[in-house]
């Protein structure tokens, strides 16, 4: 039995009710539906706003983070006055302001193997608005095990990917990507950046797919991957097929329950800004400042991109973007004391690993990157 | 010459280009021509056995080469190839 709509709801949804493909019955389906949104960041913001506005009866939102100033360039559900608030609280407040007729459940926790089934059970579908590989594999496996669709969206700089993974009717995320890339090979948005409006486009497409699935109209993106490039505004579709060797949705599945996704991907399950790798190879900003002030020779290497070096810099540093390091390594002297730095320490950790595996031993990683340097040594420059 | 489109994360290894034209009668030939021109790309696309890495897809006219003849798939001058790695940003 679908729920009835009140007069106030009928007035609110009149533009939906006018569409024959939606009409009263469709709007009642939306009211009866429950959608779990994992992540209330760049992708999650437009998804949450549009699902709320559309009248999805029950929306669950999962996020462990608080609103940060640097989120506001793209996470449009949050505002300046919410900086420091829990993202789930900030999002819920905004969603209920958009539409007080809906129910918003908040889960202020990281989505993990331990809590995922408890959280997800009872929802009709999940929208993947996460920002890291471990949680994407987790969302996929939860959806396959529960037999519900996974509305997938992913972004990088100017480019987005969208699909609907429904293992009952087509491939799952693991069919497409059986294994994650090695840690560090594909930069995150925190490292590589993202055009703020990009998750707006991609998240809106995810919300569209979710609403189509609930209404049972149109052609869902099952068995297709949409590749969107904002630079030439191109939308390209490629065909996806079920992988007969898929470890979770194939005929002989190896994965029959949730696993340790951080171990599977070799990285933490959230978008760490600070580097925790390379312990023992780190140098503190204050220690570096002291060495420089005493005139101790240090070969400082900035592994960021040239556009970042325009924002902040350490005097005397040589700019060698991480991508160029393998070919320029031969010009470095392994007898020199080398200190590597980037924005926050992730890329310089990879640079350090490259140099160490090439035989460099007198090499250090500036802990926390130039942002830590600016905070602790040179506050005249901006943190970004 | 077939046209290859590269996803954003791979563009730093090809001087920032989005599209390239490549010679070759098979996918393997075109990939050889690509990685000879841009050697640092090789490790991002292929493992030490020369197989395409599991987080990279190569599509030819919107079909995954894994569902065709893999690296032996024939390539015609009018074909459009696309290299798509997994991305995780959100």
Domain residues for the domain of B41 are 2-85
**Residue the block writes with tokens 């009140």:** A6
Domain annotation covers residue A152: yes
Q: Is the pLDDT of residue B79 over 70?
A: yes
> Does the residue A382 lie in any domain?
no
Residue A160 and residue A229 in one domain: yes
Residue A273 confidence (pLDDT) above 70: no
Shortest Cα distance from A220 to chain B (angstroms)?
A: 18
Task: Note the maximum CA span of chain B.
Answer: 38
Across the range A218-228, mean pLDDT stands at 98
Mean pLDDT in residue range A192-217: 96
pLDDT one-digit tens code per residue, A315-338: 999 999 998 898 888 889 888 899
**B55 and chain A in contact, CB less than 8 A:** yes
Chain B residues inside the 8 Å CB shell of A41: 90
Residue A47 has pLDDT above 80, yes or no: yes
Smallest CA–CA distance, residue B9 to chain A, in Å, is 7
What confidence score (pLDDT) does residue A279 get?
52
Residue A345 inside a domain? The answer is yes
In a domain, A84, yes or no: yes
**Residue A269 — pLDDT band, cuts 50, 70, 90?**
low
Reported as a single tens digit per residue, the pLDDT across B27-38 is 999 999 999 999
- Contact (CB<8Å) B88/A161: no
Per the domain annotation, does A383 fall within a domain?
A: no
B38 within some domain: yes
B50 at interface of A, judged by CB pairs closer than 8 A: no
For chain A, how many structural domains are there in total? 2
| Residue B43 within a domain | yes
Catalytic residue among A172, A189, A246, A265: A189
Which residue among A180, A225, A327 sits closest to B55, beta carbon to beta carbon? A180
Identify the band that residue A275 occupies on the pLDDT scale cut at 50, 70 and 90.
very low
In this structure, the answer to whether residues A251 and A325 fall within a common structural domain is no
Task: Please report residues of B whose CB lies closer than 8 A to that of A155.
Answer: 87, 89-90
Average pLDDT of the residues of chain A: 93
Q: What is the pLDDT of residue A270?
A: 58
Identify whether A265 is a catalytic site residue: no
Q: Give the pLDDT mean for B39-43.
A: 89
> What pTM value is reported for the model?
0.84
What's the per-residue H, E or C state across chain A? CCCCCCHHHHHHCHHHHCCCCCHHHHHHHHHHCEEEEECCCCCHHHHHHHHHHHCCCEEEEECCCECCHHHCCCCCCCCHHHCCCEHHHHHHHHHHHHCCCCEEEEECCCCCCCCHHHHHCCCCEEEECCCCHHHHHHHHHHHHHHCCCEEEEEEEECEEEEEEECCCCCCCHHHHCCCCCCCCCCCCHHHHCECCCHHHHHHHHHHHHHHHHHHCCCCCCECEEEEEECCCCEEEEEECCCCCCCCCCCCCCCCCCCCCHHHHHCCCCCCCCCCCCCCCCEECHHHHHHHHHCCCCCEEEECCCHHHHCCCCCCCCEECCHHHHHHHHHHCCCCCCEEEECCCCHHHHHHHHHHHHCCCCCEEEECCHHHHHHHHCCCCCCCC
Q: What is the mean pLDDT of residues A190-214?
A: 94
A244 assigned to some structural domain = yes
Same domain as A254, residue A300 = no
What pLDDT, on the 0 to 100 scale, is given for residue B44? 87
Picking from A130, A179, A237, the nearest residue to B90 by CB comes out as A130
Nearest to A181 among B57, B85, B90 (CB): B85
Per the structure, how many domains does chain B have? Answer: 1
- Put simply, whether B67 touches A (Cβ < 8 Å) is yes
Interval A108-117 mean pLDDT: 97
Same domain, residue pair A136 and A225? yes
pLDDT-derived band at B82, boundaries 50, 70, 90: very high
Domain membership of residue A14 (yes or no) is: no
**Percent with pLDDT over 70 in chain A:** 97
Q: Measured between alpha carbons, how far is A23 from A36 in angstroms, rounded to an integer? A: 24
Domain residues for the domain of A362 are 282-376
Residues A230 and A366 in one domain: no
Across the interface, which of B53, B54, B87 has its CB nearest the CB of A154?
A: B87
Cβ of A185 within 8 Å of Cβ of B44? The answer is yes
CB pairs under 8 A between A and B: 99
Which residue does chain A place closest to B38, by CA atoms?
A: A327
In a domain, B58, yes or no: yes
Residue A260, pLDDT > 80, answer yes
Return the CATH number at B66. 3.10.20.30
Q: What is the pLDDT of residues A236-257, one digit of tens each?
A: 999 999 999 999 999 999 999 9
Which helix (H) or strand (E) covers residue B64, if one does? strand B63-64
**pLDDT for the residue numbered A277:** 41
A342 noted as active-site residue: yes
Instruction: Please compute the mean of the pLDDT values over residues A264-273 and round it to a whole number.
Output: 65
Q: What is the pLDDT of residues A352-375, one digit of tens each?
A: 988 988 888 889 999 999 999 999
Question: Is 80 exceeded by the pLDDT of residue A132?
Answer: yes
- The CATH number that applies at residue A159 is 3.40.50.720
For residue B90, being part of any structural domain is answered with no
């Amino acid at each position: 039995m679908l729920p009835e709509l009140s007069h106030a709801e009928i007035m609110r949804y009149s533009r939906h009710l006018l569409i024959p493909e939606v009409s009263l019955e469709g709007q009642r389906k939306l009211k009866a539906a429950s959608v779990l949104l994992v992540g209330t960041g760049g992708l999650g913001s437009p998804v949450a706003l549009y699902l709320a506005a559309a009248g999805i009866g029950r929306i669950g939102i999962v996020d462990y983070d608080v609103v940060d100033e640097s989120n506001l360039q793209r996470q449009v559900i949050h505002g300046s006055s919410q900086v420091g608030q829990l993202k789930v609280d900030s999002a819920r407040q905004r969603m209920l302001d958009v539409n007080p007729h809906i129910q918003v459940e908040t889960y202020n926790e990281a989505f993990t193997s331990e809590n995922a089934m408890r959280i997800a059970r009872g929802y009709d579908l999940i929208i993947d608005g996460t920002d890291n590989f471990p949680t994407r594999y987790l969302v996929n496996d939860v959806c396959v095990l529960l037999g519900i669709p996974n509305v997938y969206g992913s972004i990088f700089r100017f480019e987005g990917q969208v699909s609907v993974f429904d293992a009952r009717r087509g491939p799952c995320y693991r069919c497409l990507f059986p294994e994650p890339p090695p840690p560090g090979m594909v930069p995150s948005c925190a490292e590589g950046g993202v055009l703020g409006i990009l998750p707006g486009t991609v998240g809106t497409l995810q919300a569209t797919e979710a609403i189509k699935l609930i209404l049972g109209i149109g052609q869902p993106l099952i068995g297709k991957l949409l590749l969107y490039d904002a630079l030439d505004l191109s939308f390209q579709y490629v065909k996806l097929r079920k992988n007969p060797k898929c470890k979770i949705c194939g005929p002989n599945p190896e994965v029959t329950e949730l696993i340790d996704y951080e171990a599977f991907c070799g990285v933490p399950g959230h978008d760490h800004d600070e580097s925790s790798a390379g312990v023992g190879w780190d140098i503190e900003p204050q220690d570096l400042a002291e060495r420089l002030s005493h005139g101790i020779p240090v070969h400082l290497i900035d592994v960021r991109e040239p556009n970042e070096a325009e924002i902040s810099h350490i005097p005397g540093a040589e700019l060698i973007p991480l991508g160029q390091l393998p070919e320029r390594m031969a010009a470095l002297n392994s007898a020199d004391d080398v200190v590597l730095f980037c924005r926050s320490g992730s890329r310089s950790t990879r640079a350090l690993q490259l140099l160490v595996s090439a035989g460099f031993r007198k090499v250090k990683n500036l802990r926390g990157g130039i942002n830590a340097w600016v905070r602790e040594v040179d506050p005249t420059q901006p943190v970004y | 010459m077939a046209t290859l489109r590269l996803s954003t994360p791979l563009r730093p290894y090809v001087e920032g280009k989005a599209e390239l034209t490549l010679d070759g009668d098979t996918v393997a030939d075109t990939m050889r021509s690509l990685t000879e021109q841009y050697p640092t790309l090789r490790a991002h696309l292929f493992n030490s056995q020369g197989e395409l890495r599991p987080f990279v897809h190569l599509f030819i006219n919107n079909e995954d080469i894994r569902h065709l003849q893999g690296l032996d798939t024939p390539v015609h001058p009018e074909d459009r190839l696309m290299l798509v790695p997994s991305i995780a940003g959100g």
